Homo-oligomer: A and B are copies of this chain.
């Protein structure tokens, strides 16, 4: 039992060593685990529940805007992957290759899906004939394999991760461009409503855009250590892939034209962002909608009142189990204090403590995970009070993260200010648009341009590039990035 107890304790402090803290918290909370394959992880019930909830909520919003789910093969022939030059250049260093089936060597290598453009667009080129076949708005929920050679970290940088992969095909550039705000709006809503995570929306630079895209847009998060982490994205492929895969249609005017395409994704990386943002020195802090167990009831009894306290706990359990995902922790072999540690480590949003006194006053003590604040709740209002509490926990998590983002977004008037603020958070500065300046700033400060924040671009007018002093074209967000 002593060994058991240790697994719910953290030795690292988040503020002192966030890397070590992160590793301890995700493993000790039993949220995820390492696997026998280096760089690939196991989604245990709590992490899979959170991801599946995100998946179902996102999927519903996709369907509301006309997106249909499909499934394409896991494996992609080498010759297809090589059709678009930038695409293959971006992905081939990370591809896991299948060369044999059983004892036979294959005549052509097959890639395990690192992304599905190549296999999907081969079908699109067969399916699309006329304007009547457009638009196509398809999505797959799948796992992808990218053989990262950098040090892998569960959820944040893995050799396999789960994602949605949206692929749209339009007759015109206007329709294609109009999709971007719809999809990024859905992602923002998921981040806000489910993960309690704020983000900064904007265009990626040419250096940082998706391999094969004309333009990429991302939502960027800021982590508590002042480093940025890229969230969901949407890519405008223009006619790049259409030309490489020969995807043409006959328009209403009788002419053959190439289509316009977009892709977009949200990944299991968001769970890593959620943990880094909300977690504390006691463990995970889960937003209530993503918690597999939202509420744990811990009965506190001694030999003289055990039966009545357990019976009272059971009645509370029955009264709220239809409203919340609740677990009655009536395990006799653990002390209440031990249970508190375990459920705090696992990030369960609310704990109900129930003892003899609560039984007598027909109440329960509700302890919220995010602040540790306790309040006594009468059982006559239990369901309503807990609902309000859950909503408040979610809002406060978002608010706290949002306040942090605001207080750690800096404006740099010159390069020395930029260097001063880098490492503290996001640094906004005017930029001339040249990849050379971007590269040099990255080499000298370790900060890349996370994106060019939407809504701030007018501010570039009349400004000078923070590096070269030439006329600024953009306001860029600089940060060190996960």
Contact = CB atoms under 8 A, between A and B. Distances in A.
A112 B51 CA distance: 23
Which of A48, A74, A92 has the largest number of chain B CB atoms within 10 A? A74
Contact of A160 (B73, B96, B292): B73
A317 interface: no
Contact of A101 (B48, B96, B102): B96
A225 to B, nearest CB: 28
Interface in A134-192: 138, 142-143, 145, 147, 149, 160, 162
Given A45-B68, A52-B69, A145 B102 contact: no
A145 B49 CA distance: 25
A74 B35 contact: no
A76 B51 CA distance: 23
Interface string A334-369: 000000000000000000000000000000000000
Interface residues of A, number: 59
Given A70-B44, A160-B73, A95 B99 contact: no
A35 B122 contact: yes
Contacts of A71: 42-43, 48, 51, 143, 162
A49 B69 contact: yes
Contacts of A138: 45
A243 to B, nearest CB: 18
Given A45-B69, A70-B48, A103-B93, A37 B110 contact: yes
The SS class assigned to the A binding surface is mixed
B98 A35 contact: no
Given A36-B119, A112-B74, A97 B99 contact: yes
A35 B119 contact: yes
Interface string A21-46: 00000000000010111001111110
A120 to B, nearest CB: 8
A77 interface: yes
Interface string A92-135: 11111111111100000110100000010011001101001000
A160 B99 contact: no
Q: How many copies of this protein are present in the complex?
A: 2
Nearest to A138: B45
Nearest to A102: B93
B73 A42 contact: yes
A78 B49 CA distance: 29
A101 B110 contact: no
Given A95-B102, A101-B94, A74 B145 contact: yes
Contacts of A112: 74-75, 98, 112
A274 B84 CA distance: 39
A333 interface: yes
Interface string A55-72: 000000000000011111
Contacts of A42: 70-73, 123
Given A36-B76, A36-B77, A36-B122, 7 more contacts: A40-B75, A45-B68, A51-B71, A92-B102, A112-B112, A132-B331, A132-B333
Interface of A: 4, 33, 35-37, 40-45, 48-49, 51-52, 68-77, 80, 92-103, 109-110, 112, 119, 122-123, 126-127, 129, 132, 138, 142-143, 145, 147, 149, 160, 162, 292, 331, 333
21 contacts: A4-B129, A36-B119, A36-B123, A37-B75, A40-B73, A42-B72, A42-B123, A43-B70, A45-B138, A48-B70, A48-B71, A51-B71, A52-B69, A75-B112, A93-B102, A96-B100, A98-B112, A99-B99, A100-B109, A101-B147, A132-B333
